[in-house]
Amino acid sequence: MIRVVLPQHLRNLARVGKEVQLQVEGEVTQRSVLDALEAQYPMLRGTLRDQITQQRRPFIRFFACGLDLSHERIDAPLPAAVMSGAEPFMVIGAIAGG
C-alpha cells in the first residue's frame, strides 16, 4: 500500500486522517498515486493538480524520503521506500500568504 500524507485542509475536505493508504496499480509514480488518490477521494480532484491541464497547482509540493519531488517527471518512479510503504508520499501546501 502507498501511504499519502495530506495537509490539514484536504484532510477536512476528504474527511480523512493525516494519512491515507492507496492501492496503486502498475508503476508507482506521481501520476499513478494522484490518479488513485482522486479515484478514492473524488472531492480532491482539482485541489492538487488542474483538472484540465493536469499541472500541479503552484503552491503544492510533493516531498518523500527527505527529497522535494515536485519538479520530477510525473511519470518517474517514486523512491523504493514509498513503493514499499516504508515512507509516505507527502503533499505539502507551500508556506505562503496569511
Residues that bind other proteins (CB under 8 A): 7-10, 12-13, 43, 45-48, 50-52, 57, 59-60, 93-94, 96-97
Degrees to nearest 5, angle at CA 30 with 85 and 76: 100
With respect to other proteins, which residue has the nearer C-beta, 27 or 50? 50
> Starting from the edge strand earliest in sequence, which strands make up the sheet with 89-93, in order?
19-22, 2-5, 89-93, 60-64, 67-68
| 23's grid cell | 492501492
With respect to other proteins, which residue has the nearer C-beta, 60 or 65? 60
Residue 56 Cβ, how far from other proteins at the closest point, in Å? 11
Beta strands in 12-95 (DSSP E): 19-22, 60-64, 67-68, 89-93
Residue 53 Cβ, how far from other proteins at the closest point, in Å? 10
With respect to other proteins, which residue has the nearer C-beta, 52 or 71? 52
